[in-house]
Structure 1
Amino acid sequence: MMASMKDIKLRIKSVQSTMQITRAMKLVASSRLRRAQQRVTESRPYHETLSATLSDIANSNSDFTSMYMQKREIKKKLYIVFAGDRGLAGGYNSNMFRMIEAETKGESCCFLPVGKKALEYFTKRGREVVTDAFPLVGEISVSDCFEMARIVCKGYVNGDYDEIHVAGTVFKSVMSQIPVTTQLLPFTPKPVEGHREVILYEPGSAETFNAIIPEYIAGMIYSVMCESSASEQGARRMAMENATNNASDMLDTLSLHYNRARQAAITQEITEIVSGAAGSEG
């Protein structure tokens, strides 16, 4: 009985230590989540304005053509995939990889992984990786997003791949993060209702459009990165909160078992003392 009590006590200490870690990780994730949400809000107007400008150029010029809009036979696709730098974030990483596998099944694809988990996933499975220069999402800067845009635009122009998609996780709430893919190239302008005035661009609409495309792709990549970072922190905060609550429930159960074991040990000692006293009197 005493050995059982010792085991329970050690287990209680172990759970308490784990709960302290999960509680601390929850607080860290909450702090990072607030900063990530702010970046999401600040990044949206930039790529929305670029997207609207590109659509205006494409829709307002009847003779407009661009290599970035021309659809061609799909021989290979490129996916820019954002995943986490660490685990302990619930289903954040696994949901992303499950979606990618479903979308790319039976297709010829290459990948530009962003984040340690994404790089590990595609490398271990022998998938074609365009570059491994962006292993940590937490260290990605705006200039890195422009570098990624330069790499993918160059590959697209050279015919290395015929479609470019970016895969990230949209942050809906702390409890809801949805992995999605967005096609970047060929660019599809948003339909515009009603009559549009013809706008003249210098040096020309095609030149202006082609110059904006890398900026647009860099902006989209940065926006997806912000959304994915917020989603990762939201998923980690929720996972750590659940882990903390489970640890608390486990402590309650272990405390109950410990008290029962302690009460049984006390009862047994009293019984032995009473039995010994009765025997000595006899």
Structure 2
Amino acid sequence: MAAANMKSVKLRIKSIQNTMQITKAMELVASSKLRKAKERADRSKPYFRILRQTLCNIALGNYDFTSPYTRENGEDSYCYIVIAGDRGMAGGYNANLFRFLEEESAGKRFSVLPLGKKSLEYARQRSFPIVTEQYDLVSALRVSDCYAIAKLLCERYREKSFGHIALIYTEFLSMMSQKTGSTSLLPLSDFREDACVICGREGKEEKIAQNLILYEPSAEEVFNAIVPEYLSGLLYSAIASSEASELAARRSAMEAATDNAGEMIDKLSLYYNRARQASITQEITEIVAGAEGQ
């Protein structure tokens, strides 16, 4: 009976060792990809800032136009762009995102534009209205795809399919910290007031110079043409940040799993050695007892 128990413990140790090799390999792969994803996220930020600054400059220097993107269209429905992962094994990355979506959408009439396999699966399971299922692989999305998504959203907003568009994603803060949050895309807030806050003192000083700029065919058309570019830049930056966050979460989860596997192996090895020593002691006792009986 003891021998059978020792054999099962030995098989259990072997199984955990195999699992530990897998989790360690996944941790190394995530660490390798994380460096590139972090660089991609950092490179995307200047593009977004330049577009934002351009919109600020136009808004500060022109007061004779109104854009359909800067005012509400009268609809109370929402469209949430949800950026989740393509795979699991990333700790609470996807679960935290979906929990945040439930909190944000509580009591609202909304549709979902899922980006990523897990996001699409979640929307289907909950029977949420889906804008499009075309972008189910977030790791395959490029700048051109982001522009196509932004253009689609702008068209739907002008058609009054929904009155608010928000982006829900995970912001990459550091290797050990990621924050789930949301960003409002449309309608744009009062951009003239927002521009003064964002541009600060420099924006106010540039206000006189901006009045000398002549936009062709008009400032309004230039502004409306830049908005999809601005949204695509914001979307691409959020995708890059989400991908880095997913890899960081997976790396941490696999590291924790590897450590737990090591602890389990140590405990089982200790149990196995004790059982083996008890078995040897019992055999010696039986041999001694038999010798004394003779």
CA contact (8 A) 1:58 1:64 kept: no
Structure 1 consecutive aligned stretches of length 4 or more whose deviation exceeds 4 Å = none
Cα distance in structure 1, aligned partners of 2:55 and 2:78 = 22
Q: Secondary structure at the match of 2:26?
A: helix
Residue in structure 2 matched with residue 157 of structure 1 by the alignment = 158
Residue in structure 1 matched with residue 242 of structure 2 by the alignment = 228
Residue in structure 2 matched with residue 36 of structure 1 by the alignment = 37
Amino acid at match of 1:12: I
CA contact (8 A) 1:76 1:163 kept: yes
Residue in structure 2 matched with residue 55 of structure 1 by the alignment = 56
Deviation of the 1:191 alpha carbon? 3.5
Cα distance in structure 2, aligned partners of 1:120 and 1:183 = 24
Cα distance in structure 1, aligned partners of 2:75 and 2:104 = 14
Q: Secondary structure at the match of 2:195?
A: coil
Cα distance in structure 2, aligned partners of 1:42 and 1:30 = 19
Deviation of the 1:262 alpha carbon? 0.4
Amino acid at match of 2:269: S
Amino acid at match of 2:82: V
Matches within 5 A, 1:15-34: 15-34=16-35
CA contact (8 A) 1:174 1:237 kept: no
Residue in structure 1 matched with residue 271 of structure 2 by the alignment = 257
Deviation of the 1:150 alpha carbon? 1.5
Cα distance in structure 1, aligned partners of 2:280 and 2:60 = 86
Q: Secondary structure at the match of 1:168?
A: strand
Q: Which has the higher mean CA deviation after the structures are superposed, 237-246 or 62-71?
A: 62-71
Q: Secondary structure at the match of 2:157?
A: helix
- Of residues 221, 243, 248, the one that matches 2:257 is 243
Cα distance in structure 1, aligned partners of 2:195 and 2:67 = 17
CA contact (8 A) 1:77 1:161 kept: yes
Please list every run of 5 or more consecutive structure 1 residues that lacks an aligned counterpart in the other structure: none
Cα distance in structure 2, aligned partners of 1:191 and 1:222 = 22
Aligned length: 280
Q: Secondary structure at the match of 2:4?
A: helix
Cα distance in structure 1, aligned partners of 2:265 and 2:225 = 61
Residue in structure 2 matched with residue 146 of structure 1 by the alignment = 147
Residue in structure 2 matched with residue 179 of structure 1 by the alignment = 180
Deviation of the 1:58 alpha carbon? 1.5
Residue in structure 1 matched with residue 123 of structure 2 by the alignment = 122
The answer to whether residue 192 in structure 2 is matched with residue 191 in structure 1 is no
CA RMSD, Structure 1 to Structure 2 (Å): 1.1
Cα distance in structure 1, aligned partners of 2:19 and 2:275 = 23
TM (norm. structure 2) is 0.93
Amino acid at match of 2:267: T
Residue in structure 2 matched with residue 210 of structure 1 by the alignment = 224
Deviation of the 1:208 alpha carbon? 0.3
TM (norm. structure 1) is 0.97
CA-to-partner distance for each residue in 1:95-141, whole Å, 9 max, x for gaps? 10011100110001101000000000011111000000011111112
Q: Secondary structure at the match of 2:273?
A: helix
CA-to-partner distance for each residue in 1:62-94, whole Å, 9 max, x for gaps? 222100101243421111110000111011001
Please list every run of 5 or more consecutive structure 2 residues that lacks an aligned counterpart in the other structure: none
Matches within 5 A, 1:91-130: 91-130=92-131
Cα distance in structure 1, aligned partners of 2:44 and 2:80 = 21
Cα distance in structure 2, aligned partners of 1:167 and 1:48 = 20
CA-to-partner distance for each residue in 1:127-173, whole Å, 9 max, x for gaps? 00000001111111221111111111110111101111111100011
Cα distance in structure 2, aligned partners of 1:110 and 1:118 = 13
Q: Which has the higher mean CA deviation after the structures are superposed, 12-21 or 67-76?
A: 67-76
The answer to whether residue 270 in structure 2 is matched with residue 269 in structure 1 is no
Q: Secondary structure at the match of 1:191?
A: helix
Q: Secondary structure at the match of 1:166?
A: strand
Deviation of the 1:56 alpha carbon? 1.6
CA contact (8 A) 2:59 2:195 kept: no
Amino acid at match of 1:231: S
What percent of counterpart residues are identical? 51
Amino acid at match of 1:9: K
Cα distance in structure 1, aligned partners of 2:26 and 2:6 = 30
